[in-house]
Amino acid sequence: MRSDRQHRAPLGLKIAAAAGLLFLHLPILLIFVYAFTTEDKSYQWPPPGYTMKWLGITWQRPDVWESLGLSVRVAAISTAIAVVLGTLCAAAVSRWKFFGRETISLLVILPIALPGIITGIALRSAFNLADIPFSTWTIVLGHATFCIVVVYNNAVARFRRTSASLIEASMDLGADGFQTFRYIVLPNLATALLAGGMLAFALSFDEVIVTTFTAGQQATLPIWMLEELVRPRQRPVTNVVAMVVVLVTFLPILAAYYLTRDGDQIGGHGK
């Protein structure tokens, strides 16, 4: 027949790939399994029995709802800030040549390259110096530092692909600045912003390090989970929550991947 045979991977490679995937995803599956175990003191394998009761118990724990609410709020606000500032910054850097342009580009990307612990300590001492009490807003500020990068990277990549003559063509055809933004710039940018925003949301939602330094008494969902793990009481509740976090984070990233498949890099994926 044709050359189908040549496209088939050798057996060794297949086994290696399968092993790699298992290594990556088996632990996550284990977390899911433990969410349904009947044993609540230690992680015993195999689980002595299976039950759905932890779903109900989790549902009734006010501390879960509190930290979940805080996490969603922080992620939503940080993302909103990041979308506005990241887009404006990307527009400035890619549309005009000005003194210090490369430096600004580097400074915007720097927070994601810095270890989170540095960002965290820096913000904490800055808040202390400025006498700003810790609140939801200090967490939001901390998260915004790396959320902006994600949006910025996506927007810059899209601006680079969008020909400058499109904007001139729009003006030439009679559209003023607002119409050009509304009908040409925004539609061309929309999927990049959506993808960047979703990634930013996901990053903020499971952030631990920066949050520990900027949160004060409040606990976001990841922080709450860390605290829960220390006390061996109703452990499967943590696993139920973990399952929810995986879903909440995974879906937007999947969506972002599909939206930007046509060549845009998803910047800052590695935070």
Partner 1 sequence: MTIAVSFTAVSRHFGSVKAVDRVDLEIGEGEFFAMLGPSGSGKTTCLRLIAGFEQPTAGHIEIFGETVEGVPPYRRNVNTVFQDYALFPHLTIVDNVAYGLMVRGIAKAERYRMAEEALALVELPGFGNRRPSQLSGGQRQRVALARALVNKPKVLLLDEPLGALDLKLREQMQEEIKSLQKALGITFVFVTHDQGEALSMADRIAVFNQGRIMQVGSPEEIYRQPSSRFVADFVGASNVLPPDFTGAGRWASLRPEAIRFTKSGGRPARVVSHSFLGGQTRVALDAGGQRLHMLLPSADSRPDDGSDVQIAWSDGDLHLMDDGK
Cβ 176 to partner 1 shortest distance, Å: 5
Residues in binding contact with partner 1, number by CB under 8 A: 17
User: Which residues inside 168-207 make contact with partner 1, applying CB under 8 A?
Assistant: 168-176, 179, 183-184, 187-188
Cβ 98 to partner 1 shortest distance, Å: 14
- 193-204 in b/e form (b: 16+ CB < 10 A) is bbbbbbbbbbbb
Cβ 185 to partner 1 shortest distance, Å: 11
* Site membership for partner 1, residue 265 (CB under 8 A): no
Cβ 213 to partner 1 shortest distance, Å: 42
Closer to partner 1 by Cβ: residue 188 or 234: 188
Closer to partner 1 by Cβ: residue 3 or 165: 165
Backbone angles phi, psi at 265, to 5 degrees: -80, 145
Closer to partner 1 by Cβ: residue 49 or 187: 187
Cβ 165 to partner 1 shortest distance, Å: 4
Closest CA to 33 of 41, 24, 23, 43: 43
Closer to partner 1 by Cβ: residue 63 or 168: 168
Closer to partner 1 by Cβ: residue 138 or 191: 191
Closer to partner 1 by Cβ: residue 184 or 193: 184
Record the tokens describing residue 171, joined without a space.
């003006």
Binding mask 133-172 for partner 1 (x = CB under 8 A): ------------------------------x-xx-xxxxx
* Site membership for partner 1, residue 38 (CB under 8 A): no
Residues at the site binding partner 1, with contacts judged by CB under 8 A: 163, 165-166, 168-176, 179, 183-184, 187-188
